[in-house]
Structure 1
Amino acid sequence: MPSVLPDGDPAPEDGALPESVLAGAEDRAFGVYVHVPYCRVRCGYCDFNTYTASELGGTRREDFAGQVRRELALGAGVMRAAGLPERPVSTVFFGGGTPTLLPASDLASMLAGIRENWGIAEGAEVTTEANPDSVDAYDLRVLADAGFTRVSFGMQSAVPHVLRTLDRTHAPERVPLVVEWARDAGLQVSLDLIYGTPGESLADWERSVDAVLENAPDHVSAYALIVETGTKLAAQIRRGEVAEPDEDLHAEMYELVDDRLAAAGYEWYEISNWSRSRETRSRHNLSYWTGEDWWGAGPGAHSHVGGVRWWNVKHPGAYAQRMAAGVSPAHARETLGAETRREERILLETRIADGLPADVLSPEQRRGVPQLIADGLVDGRAAIGGRIVPTRRGRLLADTVVHRLLS
């Protein structure tokens, strides 16, 4: 089942934001995330806020687009009332769940709601996630015509037994078809992979990486499998039905995908993400790592504006009730102090190729950088230039880098 929402301060029913969000707002980009919580089946490794048809408790998917549009209107009003500057949306991301379980026309309607309430900047990046078996050529054309620019397919693996372990429902041969259909519609394509599935060998992983390269996407994400408490996979491991992930094998798999993608002309720009060029990076995800503003709409969605972070009620039924009542769907929120924001910046920006400006570090923290360079965790040339950028070893030991900078 989905993980539990964190505690926080009470969120006002009208969603009102404090005056503190105005500081520096004109220098921050603004994006929108829409969480579509529906899945055909629950994958055994997943603890995202998702629901199958039997778990919806009487709510209907057909009503979802209208509910999100009401939240978007509420959000625009909250931001105007706070005195925030008018900023057209520079990135939009529909995630889930499987957004494309909804009709393409519903996704188009929600995107229209974003456009009506905030405007969408020229050249904006507009992405939806999709499973390879949840869209066809017609759907992709509808999305492109509505203003979507990018589709991120949850490929996960090209090996049937790995897909079965992950409870994925598509066949590997479906991936080249959807990639071709997306390109024909004029959409950029990202392919998402997971490595370290129980029973997955290094040869299996290499087969999946080869399949990605055969499809030549614009962008690739590769995430190590994390066993989350409360998931089906965690229970299987606890009962001894499948093996625990092997950290050494994870490292080998990461090195393999990094080598193969680099040889094919892709560049890493965040620990788990590679692109053909700077222009095909996921600008929306980069906005999370660099502390920009975004409004998160939908059940369980998280938002951040000017150091205030909040999260919506999780269940689609509770969300529908809030939207019908015309009140904020926020469950709770927190206001980040200056030191917490600085620490989070260190945590996040040391993950990206553009790096962390060294002047964000305190004098004491800067004194630890030479040892990180000596240990092969931080790029020495970049550090001389004033930025803290992880080496590949540093990417594999990212938690160690952050811990040593902060301790």
Structure 2
Amino acid sequence: MSTPVRSPDAGPLLGDFGGGPFGIYVHVPFCATRCGYCDFNTYTAGELGTAASPASWLEALRGELAAAATAFDALPSATPEVATVFVGGGTPSLLGGDGLAEVLAAVRQNFTLAPGAEVTTESNPESTGPAFFERLRAAGFTRISLGMQSAAAHVLAVLDRTHTPGRAVAAALEARAAGFDHVNLDLIYGTPGETDADLDASLEAVLAAEVDHVSAYSLIVEDGTALARRVRRGELPAPDEDVLATRYERIDTRLRGAGLEWYEVSNWAGGDAARCRHNLGYWDGGDWLGAGPGAHSHLGGVRWWNVKHPARYADRVAAGGLPAAGWEALSASERHTERVMLAVRLRTGLPLADLDAHGRAAVPGVVTGGLAEVRGERLVLTDRGRLLADGVVRDLLA
């Protein structure tokens, strides 16, 4: 790891670029309503009042991107072209097509996008439509990720999702009609009250949408959320681990049968081109700039994170420099831990050379237990091992 240097504004320490693909993540902190299971850094209009708005956020974002470009100019290595851009949140589609086009224009004003760059935005199905997708395609977006969660109305109600069950499929078809070859649908499984039939209906809807990527996540009850409070009061049961495992197997079987293969434990794609290159950058230990309130960045083993509240974020940007709330230079041990945790989850597996002595000694037990296989010089999870990936990581690191 190169010696970290302090950003010109005496802000966070910055590592140098590592030589791999470089991505930019933009965090949009706005939501129309707060979902009961969500613990992301998001705010409704009622929570913000007059303290912040999409207009003030966009002005601050432009300032942060300019400050980051200036800070990167002081690093030993030249700033690489941007291989991927991912606009997430929150609900980026609340900005509308024109607003998201301005976001991408701000990125382009300060950084150079690589030829064929992947440019993704998340969207809530209810705040999209044909004109929205056409505007994004014209602006240069190449990939759409839609929050579907479920096709069952009662499951959406438990999650406090506001879109109607069929809207996600309709939105995916509209995106395809607008010229997007790469469209993702997100699913959440294991919600209290969800049945096997509900999940099957969701999977049928996903396949009817003809998307080339699916992300499926088990419901996690995060502390401090409305869902956690309902579970604590006994209004809803906590997700059952055995049920989650059987649901995951059900998802995997159906998606693989339709030609969508897993490439990360929670992600399936219809071929290499359909894989989310931005997320692969995270999982492969790449470098990225995270812009927006609460966003995290990583360069060469140095990580920093922005102040969370949109109003304080804007104030920090206006004062000059990067709006970091904190930063850290990862130790060799911390970098090793992260590498194992992330690479094990990938279909390509973990290079055995990346393991320390303890990890190498643990490999025979993991293989004998049927959780992984050694393929060439890599350790790759079996189907059973994907269900117990966290346990495999503990074995390799303990």
Aligned to 1:97: 90
Once residues 303 and 238 of structure 1 are traced to their aligned partners in structure 2, the CA distance between those partners, rounded to angstroms, is 34
Kindly indicate whether residue 48 of structure 2 is the aligned counterpart of residue 48 of structure 1. no
1:43-192 matched pairs, under 5 angstroms? 43-58=35-50, 59-187=52-180, 188-192=182-186
Kindly indicate whether residue 281 of structure 2 is the aligned counterpart of residue 290 of structure 1. no
CA shift for structure 1 position 16:
5.2
Please give the TM-score of this superposition, normalised by the length of structure 1: 0.93
CA shift for structure 1 position 11:
9.0
Once residues 285 and 86 of structure 1 are traced to their aligned partners in structure 2, the CA distance between those partners, rounded to angstroms, is 20
Kindly indicate whether residue 395 of structure 2 is the aligned counterpart of residue 399 of structure 1. no
| Greater displacement, 34-43 / 202-211 | 202-211
Match of 1:37 among 11, 24, 29: 29
Deviation track 1:342-363 (CA, whole Å, cap 9, x = no partner) reads 1210111000001111001123
Aligned to 1:5: none
Aligned to 2:239: 245
| Greater displacement, 364-373 / 136-145 | 364-373
Cα separation, partners in 2 of 1:11 and 1:228, compared to 1, 3 Å: farther
| 8 Å contact kept, 1:16–1:82 | no
CA shift for structure 1 position 83:
2.7
Match of 1:314 among 308, 318, 323: 308
Once residues 148 and 216 of structure 2 are traced to their aligned partners in structure 1, the CA distance between those partners, rounded to angstroms, is 10
Cα separation, partners in 2 of 1:152 and 1:310, compared to 1, 3 Å: same
CA shift for structure 1 position 114:
1.3
| 8 Å contact kept, 1:104–1:142 | yes
Matched position secondary structure for 1:28: coil
CA shift for structure 1 position 203:
1.6
1:202-351 matched pairs, under 5 angstroms? 202-351=196-345
Deviation track 1:134-160 (CA, whole Å, cap 9, x = no partner) reads 111111111111110011000000000
Matched position secondary structure for 2:372: coil
Alignment coverage as a number of residue pairs: 391
| 8 Å contact kept, 1:140–1:181 | yes
Structure 1 segments unaligned to the other structure (5+ residues): 1-9
Deviation track 1:230-254 (CA, whole Å, cap 9, x = no partner) reads 1000000111111111111000100
Deviation track 1:96-154 (CA, whole Å, cap 9, x = no partner) reads 00001012212111211211211100111100000110111111111111110011000
Once residues 48 and 202 of structure 2 are traced to their aligned partners in structure 1, the CA distance between those partners, rounded to angstroms, is 34
Cα separation, partners in 2 of 1:106 and 1:349, compared to 1, 3 Å: same
- Percent identical residues: 54
What letter matches 1:31 in structure 2? G
CA shift for structure 1 position 13:
4.8
CA shift for structure 1 position 57:
4.2
Once residues 88 and 357 of structure 2 are traced to their aligned partners in structure 1, the CA distance between those partners, rounded to angstroms, is 40
Matched position secondary structure for 2:69: helix
Deviation track 1:225-277 (CA, whole Å, cap 9, x = no partner) reads 00000100000011111111111100010000000111111110001000000
Matched position secondary structure for 1:244: coil
Once residues 284 and 48 of structure 2 are traced to their aligned partners in structure 1, the CA distance between those partners, rounded to angstroms, is 35
| Greater displacement, 77-86 / 311-320 | 77-86
| 8 Å contact kept, 2:18–2:300 | no
Once residues 81 and 151 of structure 2 are traced to their aligned partners in structure 1, the CA distance between those partners, rounded to angstroms, is 39
Deviation track 1:301-330 (CA, whole Å, cap 9, x = no partner) reads 000011110110001110111122223210
CA shift for structure 1 position 27:
2.0
What letter matches 2:391 in structure 1? T
Aligned to 2:3: none
Once residues 195 and 364 of structure 1 are traced to their aligned partners in structure 2, the CA distance between those partners, rounded to angstroms, is 35
| Greater displacement, 114-123 / 219-228 | 114-123
Deviation track 1:159-181 (CA, whole Å, cap 9, x = no partner) reads 00000111111111212321121
Once residues 333 and 357 of structure 1 are traced to their aligned partners in structure 2, the CA distance between those partners, rounded to angstroms, is 29
Structure 2 segments unaligned to the other structure (5+ residues): 1-5
| Greater displacement, 272-281 / 57-66 | 57-66
What letter matches 2:281 in structure 1? S
